[in-house]
Amino acid sequence: MTFLYYAVLALHICCCIFLICVVLLQQGKGQDLASAFGGGGTQTAFGPRGSANVLSRATTILGAVFMITSLTLSKTHPSSRSVLDLLPAAAAKASPAPAKASPPSVAPPATTPASPAAKAAAPVASPSAR
């Protein structure tokens, strides 16, 4: 089973490299600067596209091989444990045990009385200043 895993892994890596190269070699739908300014009116959105060329067929085939090798790699992985097996143990360690309910503490009043020195330092407004 381990040999199959590494054989499929090598095929998967080769497929990834070729798929990247094939996609980068393809020409865009616009194909030139004139189509950006309305010159590409001959290509309609849902009209006939013509026959697919070699690069588009290679993209389709390599995409299918990529999907198949991805699924095969997930099923033939030699490890018996996965990340999802570790999840419940990590969640149990992360969540602390619920604490006993304690009576609510009384909060101190929002305003505290000012000291006599602070009252003396505060300017007193005279009634005639109004």
> Which of the four pLDDT bands, split at 50, 70 and 90, describes residue 86?
confident
Is the pLDDT at 27 greater than 70? The verdict is: yes
Taking only the tens place, the pLDDT of each residue in 8-25 is: 999 999 999 999 999 998
Written in H, E and C, the secondary structure of the chain is: CHHHHHHHHHHHHHHHHHHHHHHHHCCCCCCCCHHHHCCCCCCCCCCCCCCCCHHHHHHHHHHHHHHHHHHHHHHCCCCCCCHHHHHHHHHHHHCCCCCCCCCCCCCCCCCCCCCHHHHHHCCCCCHHHC
Region 31-58: what's the mean pLDDT? 62
